[in-house]
Every structure is written in structure tokens, then in C-alpha cells.
């Protein structure tokens, strides 16, 4: 069997043996030539994507992230959940507020998983858990942006502001919970 690429870049498969010889005016190539051409096309496409990504790294990150998140959110929030939420506040304060409220929103469920334990210890475990998760996500995002060469200027400043606001939000939440426990 011979697989080849024609002059019009179509793949042809014939029942002729692969002799390693090009036939009839160069319209058929050997299987190894077809693989070489395919590999060259893959490399060229990768270079094109890489060049494009270098020029627009945030666009690439954004599109990839949105597609992945939309796929995961579709069963709960329907089509294009991210686009539908795009009217939200994406400032450092708005982003930090969502991070704090979403993560601390699990506190009651966490407490229910630890019945009979000291409430102060449960709160400490919960805060350690969400702080650790936030720090991990923060480091991963920073590393991605650093690797793309865009972690500088306003981007770096806004990420640092967001980090500081989340840390403060967690401290405020913990203090409020501890004062509630004392007054109960």
C-alpha cells in the first residue's frame, strides 16, 4: 500500500507497494515523504501559533481559559457562562471580592464535615485550606504570566493588589467568625 500527497495537497492511498520511488511526474510520494511533509506542516503550524501567541499571549490565554471554563460551567449555567458574566467588575477589588466570597462561602459546609470539633480549630483548618488553595492558584497564574513575558507594569501591579485584597479579605472573614464564636 502506498500513501502519498498529490500536487494539490490531497492524500492518496493506492494498493501499489512502497518502492521508495516517486511516480508519474512527481504526483505521488512515498509514505516516508508523506510523513516528512506532514511533520513539516505540523512544525510550521506550531511556529505560526507560537508567533501568534507571542504577539498576543493574553488573547491566547483568555480564549483557552474561557473555552475550558465554559465547558465545565455549561451544565449548571448554560451556554457561554463566562460571556454572560462579563459585565462583572474585573478590577483588583472586584476580583478579590469574588475570590473571598466564593471560597469563604464553603465555611458552613466545612463545619458540617467536622461535627463535634472545637469551632476555633475548625475555622483555623478551613482558613489554612482556602489560603493554601489561593496561594497555589496565585503562584500558578503568576508563573504562567511570567513565562509569557507579560508579568510587568499594570498587570503585575493589579495582580499584587488583588493578592493583598484577598489576604485582607480572609483576615477580615476570620476575625468576624472568631468574634461571632465568642459572642455565641
Structural domains of the chain in order of their starting residue, each with its CATH number: 2-52 (no CATH), 56-86 (no CATH), 88-183 (1.10.132.90)
In whole angstroms, what is the distance from residue 182 CA to residue 124 CA?
15
- Find residue 3's DSSP bridge partners: 13
pLDDT at 32 (0 to 100): 55
Helix (H) or strand (E) holding 114: none
Specify the DSSP class assigned to residue 118: -
Give residue 81's pLDDT band: very low, low, confident or very high (50, 70, 90).
confident
User: What cell was used for 43?
Assistant: 512544525
Specify the DSSP class assigned to residue 21: -
pTM above 0.85, yes or no: no
Query: Judging by DSSP bridges, how do beta strands 2-5 and 11-14 pair with one another?
Result: antiparallel
Q: How far apart are the first and last CA of the chain?
A: 81
Higher pLDDT, 6 or 136: 136
Specify the DSSP class assigned to residue 4: E
pLDDT at 25 (0 to 100): 45
Percent of the chain with pLDDT over 70: 61
What does the pLDDT look like over 15-69, one tens digit per residue?
555 444 444 444 445 555 555 566 556 655 555 555 554 555 556 666 776 677 7
In whole angstroms, what is the distance from residue 123 CA to residue 100 CA?
15
Mean pLDDT, to the nearest integer, of 110-123? 95
Mean pLDDT, to the nearest integer, of 140-161? 90
In whole angstroms, what is the distance from residue 21 CA to residue 68 CA?
46
Give residue 78's pLDDT band: very low, low, confident or very high (50, 70, 90).
confident
Average pLDDT, the chain: 76
Mean pLDDT, to the nearest integer, of 142-159? 89
Percent of the chain with pLDDT over 90: 36
User: What cell was used for 80?
Assistant: 457561554
Mean pLDDT, to the nearest integer, of 170-176? 97
Specify the DSSP class assigned to residue 168: H
Q: What is the dihedral of CA 7, 9, 15, 21, to 10 degrees?
A: 50
Amino acid at each position: 500500500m502506498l500513501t502519498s500527497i498529490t500536487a494539490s495537497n490531497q492524500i492518496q492511498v493506492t494498493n501499489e507497494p512502497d518502492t521508495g520511488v516517486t511516480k508519474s511526474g512527481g504526483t505521488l510520494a512515498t509514505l516516508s515523504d508523506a510523513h516528512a511533509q506532514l511533520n513539516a506542516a505540523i512544525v510550521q503550524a506550531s511556529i505560526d501559533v507560537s508567533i501568534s501567541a507571542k504577539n498576543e499571549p493574553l488573547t491566547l490565554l483568555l480564549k483557552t481559559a474561557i473555552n475550558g471554563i465554559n465547558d465545565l460551567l455549561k451544565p449548571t449555567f448554560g451556554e457561554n457562562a463566562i460571556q454572560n458574566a462579563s459585565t462583572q467588575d474585573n478590577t483588583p477589588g472586584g476580583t478579590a471580592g469574588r475570590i473571598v466570597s466564593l471560597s469563604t462561602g464553603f465555611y458552613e459546609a466545612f463545619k458540617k464535615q467536622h461535627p463535634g470539633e472545637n469551632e476555633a480549630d475548625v475555622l483555623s483548618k478551613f482558613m489554612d485550606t482556602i489560603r493554601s488553595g489561593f496561594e497555589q492558584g496565585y503562584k500558578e497564574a503568576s508563573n504562567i504570566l511570567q513565562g509569557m513575558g507579560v508579568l510587568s507594569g499594570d498587570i503585575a501591579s493589579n495582580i499584587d493588589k488583588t493578592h493583598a485584597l484577598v489576604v485582607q479579605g480572609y483576615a477580615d472573614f476570620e476575625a468576624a467568625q472568631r468574634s461571632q464564636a465568642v459572642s455565641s
